Every structure is written in structure tokens, then in C-alpha cells.
Amino acid sequence: MPDPDAIPPDPDAIPPGPTPATRGAALATALAAFDALAELGETIEDEWSYVTALADAGRSRLRAAAGSVDEMLPADRGAAIVAACGEVARITDPHRAIDWLSTLPAIVELSLGGAPTAPGAGTGAGAGVAASGA
């Protein structure tokens, strides 16, 4: 008998992709979703330079979080990255995409077992990225 308290499946849910088995596969999954966000965000001409800087910083964060790309990844951590990327695939608003340019790297950092870093923290790419004020 079905559980009467069960949440019905979301008809708009993106079917999950394959769960990445390695940190490198997780990085590839996250970068593909991240690049789609950046491309959507760049459609706002007034925000182009901000989005480009934020995207560069985000890619650096993702690569740093991946660490040893050949290392095996626990299935639950890979599934978390796939789920986050599924949410990214649902984003159609460029402003929301820009918001997620900081959100996705933080989710991936946590999923890979690290602590999220602030966008633009440190001295690498994107350091000192400032809000556009828009």
C-alpha cells in the first residue's frame, strides 16, 4: 500500500544523471553545469564583466575542490553533485543563473568534503570580485 504521507514525484524533475565515481568525473559534471550558468548569466550585457570574473573564480574553486581527480568518490557525494546540477539545469532566468555562479561551487565544495570558500577569497583568479550593484 502506498504511503499516504509520501511526497508525490515532481513531474518537472530532471532525471538524475549517472553518479560520478571519481572526483574528476564529479568535476566534469559540475563544470558542465557551471558553464551553462555562466553562458546564461552572460546574456545580461550590463553584467558581462562581473559574470565573467565570477565565472573564472567559480571554475577555480571547482578545480581546487576536486583535488586528486583519480580519487574515488563515495556514491552519496556524487549523487549530491548530480542533484545540484539537476537543479542548475532547471534555471532559465539569467539573474538566477548569476546567483548560482556562487552557489554551485559552494555545494560542490561541501559535497567533496571541503569547506566552501567565499567568492573571490584568496589571491587566485577572481580575487576581489566585487558586486556590480545591479
Tell whether 100 is covered by a domain: yes
pTM of the model: 0.76
Within a domain: 22: no
Domain presence at residue 112:
yes
Torsion from C-alpha of 117, 122, 124, 125, nearest 10 degrees: 60
Q: Which three cell numbers stand for residue 3?
A: 504511503
Residue 112's pLDDT is 92
Parent domain of 82: 53-119
Q: Looking at the domain assignment, is residue 81 inside a domain?
A: yes
Q: For residues 72 and 35, what is the distance between their CA atoms, to the nearest angstrom?
A: 24
Q: What does each of the 134 residues of the chain score in pLDDT, given as a tens digit?
A: 555 555 555 555 545 578 899 999 999 999 999 999 999 999 999 999 999 999 999 999 999 999 999 999 999 999 999 999 999 999 999 999 999 999 999 999 999 988 777 655 544 444 444 443 43
In a domain, 73, yes or no: yes
Q: Identify the pLDDT of residue 13.
A: 52
In a domain, 128, yes or no: no
Give me the number of domains the chain comprises: 1
